[in-house]
Structure 1
Amino acid sequence: MSITIADVATRAGVSKTTVSRVLNGKGEVDRRTADRVRAVITDLGYVPNARAVNLARGRTRVVGMLVPALTWPWMGEVLQGAVDVVESEAYGLLLFTCNRGDESMRRFASQVSARSFDGLLVVEPEGTLDYITELHRRGLPVVLVDDRGHQPGFPSVRTTNEAGARTAAVHLLHRGRRRPLVVTGPRRFGCTRERTAGFAEAYAEAGLPVAPDRLVEGDFTFECGRAAVRRLLTDRVDFDAVFAHNDLSAAGALQALRDAGRRVPADVAVVGFDDLPLAGHTHPPLTSVRQPLREMGAAAARALVGHLAGSPLPDPPTVIPTSLTVRASTGAT
């Protein structure tokens, strides 16, 4: 049978409250009594429940993380970055997804009410920003990963979407590509607007504005990239490059070009965004703007855990820059 706090109290001739005070370092217990309780703890081999001790001290040493779904292609990288930091600081991670919509959020809210975690990392599920902001206002430390242009009233970690897209445009211009097709993400996302603007500005500055019929709204899926390329080929719209707002839709574009007998990069160059492991395994391997996903997750977790240890949360957003990984889909040299 396991030793309980009641066993320690009985052997030491004190109350369970006194034993708890000795364990937690709270309240006044005279030195002789405290020494006697500690001796009994050692003699019986009592190991206090870590969760109970932490709750008594007003903390759980657990970090919550709220995300839309684990099916997002880059979510694993962000999650791994966060886990690396959380575990290194001896915290646990309690993960919540919104796979079941309102039902998921009700379950999440119940864990918030139960104070099941000390602070929260968020990859914002759609429609939850106001609620998360209110949680932060009430005192729950929150750090957002991948601010989608919403500029919340609490700390966030983001990357340089506009500058990354500009880098992709400059790279294609240097490769002599004058007529790009752009397959965007959903227009409501801030990252979509930023990537569209950065890419278009670079081409406009070169005297080659992106024509409206070569700007196609997608949804970050493989099928949207494939469908966009198929449609423009069917409509005989002339393009010599594709810039897709993520690697998955870029892979769809590569498939459509291959099906149509177009050579990559000889006929059409292709650039994606994210630089997931997938990018190195497409045919041909995909040039991609590297989004520092693991670093973003780690930076957010580091800020949150540091705050729980007593440091202030960062005020301005933490920005980790993108970079371009050049591969064969644009003619690596």
Structure 2
Amino acid sequence: MVKKAELHVHLEGTATPALVRQMASQNGAMLDPTIFKSDGEFAWTDFWEFLDCYDKAAATIMTKDDYRLVTYDYLARCARENTIYVEMFSSPDHAAEVGMSYTDHLDGIAAGIDDARKDFGIEGRIIVTCVRHFGAERALAVAKLVTSTPHPYVVGFGMGGDESRFHPDDFSAAFHLMKKAGYQTTNHAGEFAGPESIRASLAALPISRIGHGVRAIEDNDLLEELADRHIPLELCPGSNVATGLYESREKHPFRQFMDAGCLVTLNSDDPPYFATSVGQEYEQAAKIYGLSETDLKNITRNALSSAFCDEELKARLLSRI
């Protein structure tokens, strides 16, 4: 089985329905039963319902040990699919919503990473994210929190949320603060917004990678620029199909990005919501896009070469491919 690596997954969005129920019960948290379609599935029909469902489920992660459990559970599932490295987006804003401190939030995730390494040999790192539709002031506050509280497992900074809200320029201060402090950054762009969202992010922010970026396929000049500049794309085919961007994986332009010479990676985004996993993403890509074992190994190498972790760890991971 090909070794795998993942760069784009939201930690709070990895908790399965069973784990969400378990944490709600342990914490005495109110849980809206309508967020479940079945024992193993979340219920939502469009992107906005997905965000609402996600927020309600994430609100059951209330303690440091909950974060340890969610992290460990996800890394264990990844390790069983022969994944050797995962960069997880973590959200201090979600933790703050339930009254958890940033340090407890981080310590819980770090404990999960340490436990999973010990038990499975998988490595994990953290990319702290701000939420775009919360605005620039909140984003800058998160960036200041990260830079004033360094942690060895925090290797980067990113931004998710509603692309239609605000302009990348508005977040320049937060991203440049992180860059000045030595962190690499990524931004969700070109998922629901068009190619102009990617262009605006590249112009305004010191980003090293692009989260999603799939709608660059609609702009040949931009596609060529991304290939020429070797800007890594955190592509998430299963997510894009589940949220209605494309009718099917067959219609997804993943192969076109490869053929254009872009630096592509495969990612699960929010796996239990989209009925996928990093292993499923590799398996489906091989089947639908006609990828060879060599192609898949190169995708893993792309991810590890584009990872935000330190060079020593990166070299060790690459040697395992």
Give the TM-score, by structure 2 length: 0.29
Q: Name whichever structure is richer in helix by fraction.
A: 2
Give the TM-score, by structure 1 length: 0.29
Higher Rg of the two aligned structures: 1
